[in-house]
Amino acid sequence: MEYYWRKPNAKTATKKIGFVKLYAPWKWVIGSGLYIDDISKSIKKEKSLLQKRINKQIQTIVLIALSFMFLVGILSFVISKNIINALNFHKQKVYENEAALKTKIANAIVESQKKDRALFYQSRLAQMGEMISMIAHQWKQPLSEISCIFMELETAYKFKKLNDDYILECAKDGDKITDFMSKTIENFRNFFKPDKTKEIFDINLAIDEALSIIGATIENSNVKISKELGKNLLILGYPNEFAQVILNILLNARDVLVSRKVIEPKIHIETYEKNNIVFIEILDNAGGIKYEIMDKVFNPYFSTKDKTNGTGLGLYMSKMIIEKSMGGTLIVKNENLGAKFIIKVTNESDRQA
């Protein structure tokens, strides 16, 4: 029941909520109640404490992200400078040693392979800043949930409703949340671990790994992802590098969908096998690529984004991984709704069997 009652030493009555029950044997009515304004003050105080905790956690994550981005910038600058110096050095040597042209060409091929590998790692470093942002997205909700658990425990303790069952229930919820956060970090750590040898792997698992990393970012951008995955699609290559290719294409699609402010943005992923060739197709509904730049999208350092948001290496390194490291092909074409990236790689399911 709700009623108004004066607090001790108060001049006016305030709203109060109470519980009453009849004790029939004695014909007594027993009741207890709390003032609404006291409850509101307690809730407001707990909300304020929770907000301070969340703000502090967000500030910590942002500080870590900025530190990593600063480190990535320094490393990228050093690597880029070394690559430029190496290219200039070999160019000068070619001019000075025309008699040894054939040898120099062979050396240049080797150095080109090294350069491609260096660009690959430069591309990964350039992505680390965005990866840190993804971790922040992945952890923001779990951290809020943990804070809520602590607030519920404090409230239960204050109102003397804390018992063993309630504590165990909160502990189980906390364990689930921390386990999710631990798996998130493990996924990011494995993603940046370089593959040393080729292996036969399931492309669907690699796609799911890429989606687990980018999932929070995609969801935060209100982009819907649909999948139509075939079965037993195995290819020979580097799983982590292949996952990076998928991630690069998905990030590019997301950026275009967001920049063009597409209504109901969507990305569709389809995998299937035809004539012993595995197809991976990624289609968005952003309207496609302009005809005049269609032939340039895989060129190194070509990007339609400004310099602060793109290095122009993502699609270039993706093509190198698929075509040079895995012996497949990567192309792009326009469909009715948008751009479709198509990866073709030899099916290895028979060899695995």
Domain shared by 35 and 45, yes or no: no
Residues 6+ apart with CB under 8 A from 273: 230, 232, 233, 279, 347, 349
Determine the pLDDT at residue 312.
Answer: 56
Domain shared by 257 and 136, yes or no: no
Determine the pLDDT at residue 308.
Answer: 45
Determine the pLDDT at residue 279.
Answer: 96
Asked whether the predicted pLDDT for residue 142 surpasses 80, the reply is no
Determine the pLDDT at residue 272.
Answer: 95
Asked whether the predicted pLDDT for residue 310 surpasses 70, the reply is no
Structural domain ending residue among the three candidates 165, 189, 213: 189
Asked whether the predicted pLDDT for residue 249 surpasses 70, the reply is yes
Looking at the structure of the chain, the number of domains it has is 3
Domain shared by 104 and 68, yes or no: yes
Indicate the burial class of 74 (C-beta count within 10 angstroms; 0-12, 13-18, 19 or more). exposed
Q: Residue 81's CB: how many other CB atoms inside 10 A? A: 10
Compute the distance between CA of residue 176 and CA of residue 325 in angstroms, rounded to an integer: 39
Which domain covers residue 19, as residue numbers? Answer: 2-39
Domain shared by 348 and 200, yes or no: yes
Determine the pLDDT at residue 185.
Answer: 65
Compute the distance between CA of residue 265 and CA of residue 263 in angstroms, rounded to an integer: 6
Domain shared by 142 and 76, yes or no: yes
Domain shared by 68 and 47, yes or no: yes
Q: Which of 144-153, 301-310, 317-326 has the highest mean pLDDT?
A: 317-326
Q: Per residue in 143-194, pLDDT tens?
A: 766 787 788 788 888 887 778 887 888 788 777 767 666 766 665 565 555 5
Average pLDDT, the chain: 80
Structural domain ending residue among the three candidates 149, 172, 189: 189
Domain shared by 246 and 169, yes or no: no
